[in-house]
Amino acid sequence: MDERQIILAIQNRDETGLEELILHYSPLFHYIVAPIVTDPHDREECVSEISLRVWDKIDQYDPHRGSWTGWLTAIARNTALNKIRSQSTQNLKTSDLSDLDEVKALPSKEPSPEEQVLRAEQKAALAKVIDNLPHGDRLLFYRKYYYQQSTAQIASELGMTERAVEGRLYRLKQKLRKKLEGGVFHD
């Protein structure tokens, strides 16, 4: 089955579409999940969950908004991050909270409305700066900070030394800092 046939089969709730999705896209899912979910058992569970999310959310896929692979990549990454978040939340719930009054007195972790607006502005400025980076720098940034790949993995796949990758990342961060200094985007 090709990409279009897989999409149609899943949209029609044909389980062969799900089987083909797993057959063709499991390597991609593993590639994206591996740097985020380090435990092999949890990683397999996460890959299974990705397939089910694709099945459940297939109606949200819009080819006019992005590619099929891009959509799958976003679902895979978000599922992996949610897995890690839920594990850390579960660990907090099971930890010893000996003095609940102290916990209740802690300030809320929720950002204030002002902080939410500021974060949204910062996010938009950062996205604009990243979009204006040269293609190679943008890819390097996404590999390291979006897909959370290790420096060793990036170096291996790009045919570079780890030191060269670290150097480029350092210069890239300096460039981003300079463009964003003062919290304002500078052209």
Looking at residue 80, its pLDDT comes to 92
pLDDT at 73: 92
* Euclidean distance between the first and the last CA atom of the chain, given in angstroms as a whole number: 46
pLDDT value of residue 186: 45
Segments of the chain with pLDDT less than 70: 89-109, 182-187
pLDDT tens-place string over residues 95-134: 555 555 555 555 556 777 888 788 888 888 888 888 888 9
For 107-180, CATH number out of 1.10.10.10, 1.10.357.10, 2.60.120.620, 3.40.1110.10 equals 1.10.10.10
Query: Whole-prediction pTM value?
Result: 0.61
User: What CATH class has 3-94?
Assistant: mainly alpha
String of DSSP letters for 23-82: HHHHHHHHHHHTTT--SHHHHHHHHHHHHHHHHHHGGG--TTTS-HHHHHHHHHHHHHHH
